[in-house]
Structure 1
Amino acid sequence: MTTKHRLITDSFKVVKKARRGGKQEKRATPPPPQKDAESEAEKEELQKLKQFDLDWRFGPCTGISRLQRWERAKLHGLNPPEEIRDLLLKTYTDPEYNFSLWSEYPL
């Protein structure tokens, strides 16, 4: 009593798909995008602002803008960095700069 092993190709016809347009030419890969000096500076600025958000010495940062927090810290004599204030005044219309790291989380 021998059993015959069947292959799936015994039941289904093997069909090879033809390539569209025949052989394709090898194309040169495009060079990787160069890092913009502006985007690097922007990343550094945002990193400084995130560090400001995470620094507990200047008080809580939830519920207020970064500039309001900076001004509150200055009012209480906590000596926040002047470069943060300058950066915030330069970019006050951009919400990515204006609001703290925690602004997207509900209170």
Structure 2
Amino acid sequence: MTAKRGLITDTFKVVKKARKDDKRNKRPPSPPAADPEPPRPSKREIDLQGLRKFDLDWRFGPCTGISRLQRWERAALHGLDPPREIKDILLTESVDPEYTHSLWRDYPL
């Protein structure tokens, strides 16, 4: 016949868990930590976010193949009332390609 198998408790030591009611070793709860203020976006990040929104707004026409300033001027010429803030941003940062080129510049036509 087969050998008699022992119980699992014969091999492993039985450990009793402490009850949840047992408050002897508990420390008093610490006061909740104040949430640190999230970092504020820089002016550049705010400007680039506004330019991305301008790129994604189809009311001002397509934006592939032209610069953001050209698109803004075309929209103004056709009476579409593009945001003046966008033109101000584009005129102050006229040399940075991250400002001048549209969001879709890396995709082929």
Q: Which TM-score band (shorter chain)?
A: 0.5 to 0.7
Stretches of structure 2 that go unaligned for 5 or more consecutive residues are 1-38
Aligned to 1:64: 66
2: CA distance, partners of 1:71 / 1:82: 11
TM-score scaled by structure 1? 0.64
Aligned to 1:74: 76
Larger helix percent: 1
TM-score scaled by structure 2? 0.63
2: CA distance, partners of 1:67 / 1:103: 14
Shift of 1:40: 1.0
1: CA distance, partners of 2:105 / 2:52: 12
- C-alpha RMSD of the superposition: 1.3
Question: Higher Cα Rg: structure 1 or 2?
Answer: 2
Stretches of structure 1 that go unaligned for 5 or more consecutive residues are 1-34
Q: Percent identity?
A: 65
Runs of 4+ off more than 6 Å:
none
